[in-house]
Amino acid sequence: MAPKIPAGFRAAAVLVKPALLATTTREWSGGEHLPTDRGFIAVSNHVTYADPFTLAHFLYDHGYAPHFLAKASLFDIPVAGKALKGLDQVPVHRGSAKAKDAVDAAVTLLGRGDSIAVFPEGTLTRDPDQWPMLARTGAARMALEHDVPVIPIAQWGAQQLLAPYSKKVDLFPRKKVIVKAGPAIDLDEYRGRALDIDVMRGATDRIMATLTGMLEEIRGESAPETPWDMRRDGGGR
């Protein structure tokens, strides 16, 4: 069984979940793929700042306390920062000596059977049509170093609540949000090898290709053959 959801999460759900229920219709699927006997990394595409709420809603509805890797600056916000710490969310100090602290904290959570939710792209996609873009390698590194499964969770529809890079919410009429989990991504060919850039890039690209394929099914459309690359294509938007 998944670890029991702590009281703090249940209290937060009492405040947040009613708003999500009132403003969305939900099409959840694939919950049977979420491991119940060990910790796992849940990876998802990232279109809007509303994505963490809908992903957390999906995980919570399936019995998991959602733990996110979040920008360290969020933990400095009065009240909200304290709440994040109390809910075992993990601050990420990018480009600093504390960057490894996030991995250590995440590994502790995984070791006790919890799930870690990660948006591998690291930011909202810059692809003009909102397809997943080339991602960072952190999730793949964590999965390979600590031999934990990676569960792909594709989602679509939250951008109707809050458009990408917008601060204006559109709550009514209710928006349809589709969230679908898939089987653990097969990374066996990368496990047990030296974690050089080729291994991490290969594993990361497989993760994102899996998410993209799932999103193609949800959207009924085809993604570009080559994912958006911020270094090559620019920031977009």
The predicted model gives 35-60 an average pLDDT of 95
CB atoms < 10 A from the CB of 172, how many?
Answer: 8
Q: Tell me the C-alpha to C-alpha distance, in Å, between residue 80 and each of 14, 73, 76, 85, 92.
A: 16, 11, 8, 9, 16
3-state secondary structure the chain: CCCCCCHHHHHHHHHHHHHHHHHEEEEEECHHHCCCCCCEEEEECCCCCCHHHHHHHHHHHCCCCCEEEEEHHHHHCCCHHHHHHHCCCEEECCCCCCHHHHHHHHHHHHHCCCEEEECCCCCCCCCCCCCCCCCCCHHHHHHHHHCCCEEEEEEECHHHCECCCCCCECCCCCEEEEEEECCCCCCHHHCCCCCCHHHHHHHHHHHHHHHHHHHHHHHCCCCCCCCCCHHHHCCCC
Write down the residue that tokens 């620019």 correspond to. 234
Residues 6+ apart with CB under 8 A from 130: 47, 159, 164
User: Which pLDDT score, from 0 to 100, does residue 59 have?
Assistant: 96
Q: Which pTM value belongs to this model? A: 0.92
- List the one residue out of 23, 30, 6, 4 whose CA is nearest residue 183: 30
User: Which pLDDT score, from 0 to 100, does residue 191 have?
Assistant: 95
User: Which pLDDT score, from 0 to 100, does residue 30 have?
Assistant: 98
Asked if residue 1 has pLDDT above 80, the reply is no
Write down the residue that tokens 């060919």 correspond to. 189
Peptide bond into 183 cis (omega under 30): no
User: Which pLDDT score, from 0 to 100, does residue 143 have?
Assistant: 95
Listed by start position, the domains of the chain span 25-233
Rounded-to-integer distance, Cα 93 and Cα 77, Å: 15
Asked if residue 236 has pLDDT above 70, the reply is no
User: Which pLDDT score, from 0 to 100, does residue 88 have?
Assistant: 81
Report residue 167 as tokens.
């601060």
Q: Tell me the C-alpha to C-alpha distance, in Å, between residue 107 and each of 67, 138, 145, 162, 197.
A: 12, 12, 10, 32, 21
Q: Which residues are 177's β-sheet partners?
A: 26
User: Which pLDDT score, from 0 to 100, does residue 85 have?
Assistant: 77
pLDDT digits (tens, 9 = 90+) for 157-210: 999 999 998 889 999 999 999 999 999 999 999 999 999 999 999 999 999 999
CATH class of the domain whose range is 25-233: alpha beta
